[in-house]
A and B are shown apart, each in its own frame.
Chain A
Amino acid sequence: MNRRVLRRAAVPVAALSLVLTACGGQDEGSGGTGDGGSSDGGSSDSESLSGEIVTDGSSTVQPLTQVAGELFKEEQPDVNVSVGTSGTGGGFEKFCIGDTDISNASRPIDEEDEVPVCKKNGIEFTELQVATDALTVVVSSENDFVECLTTEELATMWAPEAEKKVTTWDQVNPDFPSEPLELFGPGTDSGTFDYFTDEINGEEGASRADYNASEDDNTIVQGVSGSPNAIGYFGFSYFEENSDSLKALEIDSGDGCVAPSAEAAQDGSYTPLARPLFVYPATSAVEDKPQVAAFLDFYAANNAEIAEAAKFIPLNEDQTTELQDMTSELTGS
């Protein structure tokens, strides 16, 4: 335990000196004098490690693990971290045959299709939630008739039955003008699409097909900001980077309109579009490779900074405690 406290104290100093100072980091409360803020980021309390850490999986979670890898390299320059983006499913496929040490996932592992493969190959794993994403429904900042949508209205708009039928805004809600409805969204290979359709339309993958689909979220940004009648959805960070040309809609799931924000996603009021993001370390990798264990400790201890730098919503206090407890149990530190 002592070791972890020490590391917790030393690491944020190193990490913060790297993360933009402008972020106004709020997490150095753990205090301890540590061994001072040496700018080289080296920490004297842990032995120097080497070897590889291989991760793959969701392209949504990739920035998070990449940032963790970048910051970890400051502390352990000889550890080689690599991150792939085969998608959540593709990542688990490699993970369950033992190709990767850690799998990034924007949804939990599938009990029916994926877990049995892992079992067959003797791969044990732990599910760790490392951040939260708020799927954000956006319109152009020129749009002046909509501020808030209920989940039913979203379903009316995106349901498979709406295809070729719901084509104007007043069909969604009579209060809206009879302007054409221009829909933009991620393509069917995306975890974001899976999550949105599951939560809004009640079934994963169930969506109308006559919308402008793109795997590149920047295309959705351009499409939506180009027309006052357009609407689309994607991860929170793409809205944050484009908040001057886009307007995020509030979502009403029955308890009033809630705007997407870090606070609303953390306290659970932004439902149902706040989603957890996971990493799955393989138990064998943690046990056999000290660099993987150290990386996970680092990931858990610096979770807030990592999430912030990767532009995700950090975990709330309970979730952070859970992550750190699960990690220390796993790595035995």
Chain B
Amino acid sequence: MASIGSIATAPLKARRAGDHSGTSIGFLIALWLAMAFAVIALVTLLVTTFLDGYPRLDGRLFFDYSSLVIPERAGARAAILGSLLVIITTALMAIPLGVAAAIYLEEFADERRWYNRLIEVNLQNLAAVPAIVYGLLTAGFALTIGLERRVVLTGAIALALLILPVIIITTREAMRAVPAEIRQGSLALGATPLQTVWKQTLPSALPGVATGTILALSRALGEAAPLLLLGGLVFVSYDPNGLLSGFTTLPIQIFNWTGRPEDAFQEVASAAIIVLLGLLLLMNALAIVIRNRYQRSW
């Protein structure tokens, strides 16, 4: 892979270094400016958030509940635990469903059937649907089956629906990257199609599946809109303790705090943003580690 890549890009790079025409240099400067703008905006945001939030990045933030009575003591304990519980529940629902759906579509579905093609097109579109729509869908669903809207399970259903298309698409791509020879070899040695998927294709695709899944889950971790629509609570005085317990999450808590007039809440909101960023970085780092460690090349 690496060798093919370097062969393909080498002439391009050489030509760039040798090209000194005005348009070319102008274009290069435009590209640099675009990149500098993005990086500067991001760095400014990170630095100001960090400076605002750093003083509040203390034990209180992790161990205390939100407080209006004494804003200086407000903590994100309920939000942090809520976020973790919701994300774990989301993962437990979305990963098995998503991977199973991807296996069916990639390995077993007959693409000549109209309904399989319809599902394909729909999946691509669903991945682009705004998050709030999944909130509405879940609200309707919960009301129909009599499930309360403010509980962990309902929130996790909304987030699982939100990331399901992404998981299915990335899993399919990972499985498609497994060479057909692996499957043919397995089948030729007498394995059934199911054994082939289970023992050969899926393990080979696992790094890709894991990366895509973790990135999808980090998107879910940062979502506030669908949960707010479901009536996400902004004040919870207890630890979420089950699937039917009320909850709040970090994005909801941050949203609520930044709307308050007191400066103390802007600070604690910044501190909570740092925690959320830390969690996201951790998940993305995990995705990179898994990919680098388990990726196979043929």
* A-B interaction: yes
Interface residues of A (CB under 8 A from B): 18-20, 52, 54, 56, 59, 62-63, 65-67, 69-71, 73, 80-86, 90, 94, 99, 216-218, 221, 237-238, 240-242, 309-311
Contacts A52-B246, A99-B149: A69 and B261 contacting too (C-beta < 8 A)? no
**Complex Cα gap A240–B70 (Å):** 17
Distance A76 CA – B96 CA, assembled complex (angstroms): 42
B70 touches A99 (CB 8 A): no
Asked if B148 is at the interface of the complex by the 8 Å CB criterion, the answer is yes
Q: Could you write out 9 A-B pairs with CB less than 8 Å apart?
A: A59-B259, A67-B69, A70-B65, A71-B69, A81-B235, A84-B234, A216-B259, A241-B262, A309-B68
> Once the chains bind, are A69 and B235 in contact (CB under 8 Å)?
yes
Known: A94-B231, A99-B148, A218-B261. A18 touches B69 (CB 8 A): yes
How far apart sit A85 and B248, CA to CA, in the bound complex (Å)? 12
Within 8 A of A (CB), among B57-90: 65-70
> Which residues from B are CB-within-8-Å of A310?
68
Residues of B within 8 A of A240 (CB): 261
B261 engages A237 (CB within 8 Å)? yes
User: Chain B residue with minimal CB distance to A216?
Assistant: B259
Interface residues, chain B, CB within 8 Å of chain A? 65-70, 148-150, 231-238, 246, 256, 258-263
CB neighbours of B68 from chain A (8 A): 63, 66-67, 70, 309-310
* Further 6 A-B residue pairs, CB within 8 A, beyond A83-B234, A216-B258, A221-B261: A56-B150, A80-B246, A83-B236, A84-B150, A84-B233, A99-B150
Evaluate contact between A217 and B234: CB separation under 8 angstroms. Answer: no
**Is the Cβ of B70 less than 8 Å from the Cβ of A84?**
no
Q: Are A73 and B237 in contact (CB under 8 A)?
A: yes
With A82-B246, A216-B259, A221-B261 already in contact, the answer to whether A20 and B235 are too (CB < 8 A) is no
| Given known A62-B234, A218-B261, contact A54–B256 (CB-CB < 8 A) | no
The residue in A80, A82, A242 that gathers the most chain B C-beta atoms within 10 A of its C-beta is: A82
Q: When A and B form their complex, what is the total count of cross-chain residue pairs whose Cβ atoms lie within 8 Å?
A: 84
For the complex, what is the distance from the CA of A56 to the CA of B232, rounded to whole Å? 10
On chain A, the residues within 8 Å of B70 by CB distance are 18, 20
Task: Tell me the bound Cα distance from A107 to B66 in angstroms.
Answer: 26
Partner of A86, one of B231, B258, B261: B231
Q: How long is the Cα–Cα vector from A54 to B238 in the complex, in angstroms?
A: 12
Q: Find out whether the CB atom of A19 lies under 8 angstroms from the CB atom of B69.
A: yes
Instruction: Indicate which residue in A54, A66, A67, A69 contacts B246 across the interface (CB closer than 8 Å).
Output: A54
Q: How far is the CB of B175 from chain A (nearest CB, A)?
A: 42
- Contacting pair A69 B259 (CB below 8 A): no
Is the pair B69, A69 in contact by a Cβ cutoff of 8 Å? no
With a cutoff of 8 Å between Cβ atoms, the chain B residues found around residue A19 in the complex are: 69
B261 touches A242 (CB 8 A): yes
Contacts of A94 in B (CB 8 A): 149, 231
CB contacts (< 8 Å) of B246 on chain A: these are 52, 54, 80, 82
Q: Give the contacting residue for A217; candidates B233, B259, B263; CB below 8 A.
A: B259
- For B235, give its contact among A83, A86, A242 (CB under 8 Å): A83
Chain B residues with CB below 8 A from A218, complex form: 258-259, 261
A242 to chain B, nearest CB (A): 7
Q: Which of A18, A86, A221 has the most CB of B within 10 A?
A: A86
| A20–B71 alpha-carbon span in the complex (Å) | 11
Which residues of A sit under 8 angstroms from B235, Cβ to Cβ?
A: 62, 65-66, 69, 81-83
Task: Give the residues in chain B near A84, CB-CB below 8 Å.
Answer: 150, 231-234
Query: From residue B130, how far is it (CB to closest CB) to chain A in Å?
Result: 18
Chain B residues near A238: list those with CB within 8 A.
261
Report how far A240 CA is from B260 CA in the complex, Å: 12
A80/B237 in contact, CB under 8 A: yes
Task: Report the minimum CB–CB distance from B73 to chain A (whole Å).
Answer: 10
Contacting residues, chain A, for B66 (C-beta < 8 A): 66
* C-alpha gap A237/B262 in the complex (Å): 9
Assembled-state Cα–Cα distance A217/B262 (Å): 12
Q: Across the interface, do A83 and B259 meet the contact criterion of CB distance under 8 Å?
A: no
Known: A63-B68, A84-B231, A237-B261. A69 touches B150 (CB 8 A): no
Interchain nearest-CB distance for A314 vs B (Å): 15
Which chain A residue has the least Cβ–Cβ distance from B241? A80
Chain B residues near A52 (CB-CB < 8 A): 246
Residues of A within 8 A of B149 (CB): 94, 99
Q: A52–B263 Cα gap in the complex (Å)?
A: 31
Query: Which residues of the other chain, A, contact B234 by a CB distance below 8 angstroms?
Result: 59, 62, 66, 83-85
Shortest distance between the CB of B140 and any CB in chain A (Å): 13
B240 to chain A, nearest CB (A): 10
Bound-state CA distance A79–B235 (Å) is: 14
Q: A56-B231, A86-B231 are in contact. Are A217 and B261 (CB under 8 A)?
A: yes
How many whole Å from B252's CB to the nearest CB in chain A? 9
Minimum C-beta distance from A236 to chain B (A): 10
A19 CA to B70 CA in the complex, in Å?
A: 7
Q: Please, how many angstroms separate the alpha-carbon atoms of A241 and B265 in the complex?
A: 12
The distance from the CB of A245 to the nearest CB of chain B, in whole angstroms, is: 12
Across the two chains, which residue of chain A brings its CB closest to B229? A86
Set of chain B residues within 8 Å of A311, measured between Cβ atoms = 261
CB atoms of A82 and B150 under 8 A apart: yes
Residue of B nearest to A234 (CB): B261
Cα distance, A218 to B256, chains bound together (Å): 12
Q: Please, which residues of chain B bring their CB within 8 A of the CB of A221?
A: 261
**Inter-chain contact A83/B231, CB cutoff 8 Å:** no
